[in-house]
Amino acid sequence: MPDNLQSVDDWMDFVSDKTSANFKLKSEKYKAMKKKQLPHTYSRKGYARLAEEMRKISSDPSSVTRVALWTKAHKRKDGKPVNSQVAETLVYQLCEHTTKVDLSRVVVHP
């Protein structure tokens, strides 16, 4: 029994909760949700500094949108998406924003 528990009854309650069918269902649900999450990227520089950098090098600073920022942050230095799930999301974003995106500037790698 861990030191931070007051009694054996607390420990037994904890064990019975964690081994219950209800807990196992919740656990599986959250594991599935976790698998669908996109990876956290661009933590070394952060989005604010990336946006500022993109505005400095852009001929039109107002063209740095949230979509453009997200796209840049989820690609490697060589321009490839960080994984296949990000690649699928980028293609979806491209389809959703085709009227807003200059397609000549988009680079898609398999």
Q: For 73-100, write each residue's pLDDT tens digit.
A: 888 888 888 888 878 877 876 776 655 5
| Residue 17 pLDDT | 93
User: Distance between CA 32 and CA 87 in Å, rounded?
Assistant: 20
| Residue 26 pLDDT | 95
Q: For 14-61, write each residue's pLDDT tens digit.
A: 899 999 999 999 999 999 988 887 777 765 778 889 889 999 998 888
| Residue 67 pLDDT | 81
pTM above 0.75, yes or no: no
Q: Which of 85, 84, 75 is nearest to 107 (CA)?
A: 75
